[in-house]
Amino acid sequence: MLKSGERWKSSWLCREGEMPTPMRGGLKEKTCTKDRVIIFRSSFPTTPKTKGKAGKVRIPRTGFISALTAILFGVGIFYFHKKRLASIVRLTGIEFISLGKYARSMASRIGIIGGTGVYDPKIFDIKERISLSTPYGPPSDCVQVGTMDGVEVAFLARHGSGHVLPPHMVNYRANIWALKQLGVERIVSPCAVGSLKEDYRPGDLVIVDQFIDLTKRRDYTFYDGARAVHVSLADPFCGEMNAIFAKEAKRLKIPHHVGGTYVCIEGPRFSTRAESNMFRNYADIIGMTLVPECQLARELDMCYTSLATITDYDVWAPEPVDLPTVLRVMSENVEKVRKLISATLPKIPVKRGKCACPHTLKDAGI
């Protein structure tokens, strides 16, 4: 029984022994009982009409009755609120997506996670802005759905509107989950990085192919219990998309590096000179946002490409990096990234058949 003023969150249905989320992970404090249980929690405050109507609802074992009851209960919740309702219900092995009054056939197979510098209203035609809730909390911002050169894309600002979220506070799980809800299969992730090698110069673009994780306190997986899942990340980035972006960068004569190892640190501070010199032995570039974003995408069978713009030589060089330098160099080179993304998106195939990304989970479970 909810008390007045308490908030519900979302909805899931699970079977015996499973976690009450579509991917069976993330909500360690709740487990299923002997019968199937559906847990309904809306993202809006209770009202006199809805107060006390949430909680655990026992559903009979019969599949048809379970499905019918869940649908009717969902319609009832939506009727009471009459607001946008975003949730995923996993029912008899089928995932349904409800987006309230924004429900429609989503065609956004490509998602872009980046800063406000990448977004340009001249090349990005917004059709709608969608606010979503996820089992892991809200994403960094609303998802803007629109088109770039005739290709429908979903854009999400990693650090939120106005760049208010530092790297270690970004809700990476919610961001990836939100894009997955909208049907996104491929993610393009522009970012700013520092260079650890002299030949990786400020202004160059790196199409990353490996990473080293030195973060410390982030949520790294959707599988926190009920099932052991070990995803292979020997090649963490989509080879097909990397090759397409590399070909277009060469055609556009954009200074770039095909391949590079990205060492991801916790942040938000920059490295010490000792740390920077140590990192030079293992990696080519350094940043704060690649992990766990990249691996979470692979856990949901999504393709992921990182387009890293070098802004500085970190602190191993005579002139140590600072934020004004990063912002200045990024603003000077962001047009290259926009141009590359705009030119490449129409050339990315609709079907994914040349990479292993869609099959990541095939042999990952125990």
CB-CB contact of 140 with 115 (8 Å): no
Which one of the listed residues 204, 213, 301, 312 is annotated catalytic? Answer: 312
Q: Residue 268 pLDDT more than 90?
A: yes
Architecture per CATH, domain 110-359, reads as 3-Layer(aba) Sandwich (3.40)
Catalytic site residue 284?
Answer: no
Average pLDDT over residues 133-160: 94
- Residues in Cβ contact with 23 at an 8 Å cutoff, skipping those fewer than 6 apart: 222, 223, 299, 300
- SS3 (DSSP) at 226: coil
Q: Residue 90 pLDDT more than 70?
A: no
pLDDT at 322: 81
- 106 against 207, higher pLDDT: 207
Average pLDDT over residues 101-124: 68
CA 164 – CA 203 distance, rounded (Å): 25
Q: What share of the chain has pLDDT > 70, as a percent? A: 71
Question: What region, left, alpha or beta, does residue 95 occupy, with left being phi > 0 and alpha being psi -120 to 50 degrees?
Answer: beta
| Residue range 286-305, pLDDT digits in tens | 999 999 999 999 999 999 99
Strand-pairing partners, residue 45, are 7
Average pLDDT over residues 283-288: 97
CA 192 – CA 159 distance, rounded (Å): 13
pLDDT at 227: 84
Backbone angles phi, psi at 54, to 5 degrees: -95, 175
Question: Which range (96-105, 149-158, 173-182) has the least confidence?
Answer: 96-105
For the chain, which residues make up each domain, given as ranges? 11-102, 110-359
Which one of the listed residues 149, 235, 314, 322 is annotated catalytic? Answer: 314
- Least Cα distance to 156 among 124, 122, 179 occurs for 179
pLDDT at 51: 44
Q: Residue 203 pLDDT more than 80?
A: yes
pLDDT at 122: 67
Catalytic site residue 314?
Answer: yes
Average pLDDT over residues 212-229: 93
Average pLDDT over residues 127-133: 93
- 43 against 306, higher pLDDT: 306
Strand pairing class (285-287; 186-195): antiparallel
Average pLDDT over residues 107-133: 82
Q: Residue 39 pLDDT more than 80?
A: no
Average pLDDT over residues 52-61: 46
Burial class (CB in 10 A: 0-12, 13-18, 19+), 29: exposed
Q: Residue 220 pLDDT more than 90?
A: yes
Q: Residue 240 pLDDT more than 70?
A: yes
Supply the mean pLDDT for the chain: 79
Question: Which range (37-41, 144-148, 245-249, 307-311) has the least confidence?
Answer: 37-41
Q: Residue 81 pLDDT more than 90?
A: no
Q: Which pLDDT band, with edges at 50, 70 and 90, does 64 fall under? A: low
